[in-house]
Amino acid sequence: MTYNGHIIVFVKIFAAIVSAIAFTLYSSWKIYTPVAERLPDTDYSSFSGLFAINFAPNFVIFIILGVILSPMIDRFIYKKFGLRGIKAILTILLAYLLLGVGGGALVSIFFYKFHFVYHYIVVSLCSVLIFLFFQTVFQIFLYKMVKH
């Protein structure tokens, strides 16, 4: 197995899927109301219902930002700056954070929720960091598999 561009795309797709699941699990847990705390005559969703409702848009955002846009950012950084040492890590982190800010702004524009721009930016920044974490873990794992 070689470590080439096709493998990197599969790593990004797998990282996007796992990131979407992790982010959706957290966000569903955060907004879930336990049975003991529910008010009478009020409709509440189950945890699995919240997960199902939240997974589809989260998955689409992770696919768009993680699989489609992040390779363009990676390619730009590889060509413009090269990747060596701590400078490379900080450059990639800054680029992905800028992708998160841009993604959050685009989501707020898409939903016409301009008063929630800050909220969408914070959520997008968290999403980008989750994606970058899983992508890095999977790339390290893949690199160790290829090396042996």
Q: Where in the chain are the domains? A: 5-34+45-147
Q: Are 12 and 73 in contact (CB under 8 A)?
A: no
**What length does the chain have?**
148
Task: Provide CB contacts within 8 A for 95, sequence distance 6+.
Answer: 73, 76, 77
Task: Output the CA–CA distances (angstroms, integers) from residue 47 to 14, 21, 38, 82, in the order listed.
Answer: 24, 13, 13, 44
pTM recorded for the entire structure: 0.78
**Integer distance in angstroms from the first to the last C-alpha of the chain?**
11
Q: Kindly state the tokens that stand for 36.
A: 């003991």
Q: pLDDT in tens for each of the 148 residues of the chain?
A: 345 667 778 888 989 999 999 989 888 888 877 777 777 777 777 888 888 888 888 888 888 878 888 888 888 887 777 767 777 778 888 888 888 787 777 777 777 766 667 777 777 788 888 888 898 888 888 878 777 6
In eight-state DSSP terms, residue 43 is -
